[in-house]
Amino acid sequence: MSDTEQPEPYRPPPMPVVRTVTANDISDALKSGVSDFFRAPLFGMFFGGIYAAGGLLILASLTMFEMTWMIIPVAIGFPLIGPFVAVGLYEVSRRLASGVPLNWREILLVVLSQRERQLGWMAFVVLFIFWIWIYQVRTLVAVFFGFKPFSSMADFLVILTTTQHGVGFLAVGTVIGAFLACALFSVTVIAMPLLLDRDIDFVTAMITSVKTVLKNPVAMLGWAVIVTALAIIAMLPAFLGVVFVLPILGHATWHLYKKAIESPS
């Protein structure tokens, strides 16, 4: 380079363009999610099984440490980390859509390589909010019930539903939980697949995700309700339903992302 030549200034990549999302898009994404699951069921059940195994491990740990009353708060907050677990499912859907063969080694390497990319920071955001949820539950229990331990899950449920302190705990906990869930959903619903699909930073991905929710509040709220309801129902039979429900929702989220964000020119 000569003395007269100047280096080109750095130009950050353009912000992803957000489209309008309709109820039909949500329906189509769900149908595509079901289709992808049946086209690659072993991959879906593998990643769903990892998620279910994590839930059972947490359940066993709470039982071992005689903290069974924490099972309900953990079960409610557990779906919050679902989008991060679904990264492998996004990759499967991406390959199915582009006609790239599915290969176990390549897909697992793609998932593992995300640790060195911006998705690692998103994992920190997700786990941090999950930790806040668990911490605020412990704090509210101390505020409303003191530090007296509950003898069993049944004892906790009776106190929760038949006492003034229990009703207050439910009311405040619901408001705080809804706020945390809304915040996490907004910053991750599009950000996770976007980070896998494009080489952008996690802050841009989160901003794009929030912009998608703000531009399409009704459709995205409907999607959040569907995801939450199906995830909770799937966890009821000892997390076994998650093996099938998580893959379908993961694949569907990928297709919803492709509908919500314009492809780069």
Residue 3 lies in a domain: no
Residue at 8 is within a domain? no
pTM metric for this prediction: 0.81
- Judge contact between 43 and 89, C-beta under 8 A: yes
Domain of 110, in residue numbers: 23-260
Specify if 7 maps to a domain: no
Asked if residue 13 belongs to a domain, the reply is: no
Helices 23-39 and 242-260 cross at an angle (nearest 10°) of: 130
For residue 18, which phi and psi values (nearest 5 degrees)? -95, 135
Exposed, middle or buried: residue 201 (CB in 10 Å: 0-12, 13-18, 19+)?
Answer: middle
Q: Shortest CA distance to 119 belongs to which of 24, 199, 229?
A: 199
159-185 burial, b at 16+ Cβ within 10 Å, e below that, comes to bbeeeeebeebeeebeebbeebbeebb
One-letter identity of residue 242: V
pLDDT tens for the 265 residues of the chain, in order = 555 556 666 566 678 999 999 999 999 999 999 999 999 999 999 988 887 887 777 777 666 766 666 665 666 555 556 666 788 899 999 999 999 999 999 888 887 776 666 777 777 787 788 778 778 877 888 888 776 666 666 777 777 778 888 888 888 888 888 888 888 889 888 998 998 888 888 899 999 999 999 999 999 999 999 988 888 788 776 667 888 988 999 999 999 999 999 987 6
**2 within some domain:** no
| AA identity, residue 112 | L
**Count of domains for the chain:** 1
Retrieve residue 113's tokens: 């390589």
Which residue type is seen at 23? A
Interatomic CA distance for residues 253 and 265, integer angstroms:
22
Q: State both tokens at 120.
A: 């690692």
In a domain, 101, yes or no: yes
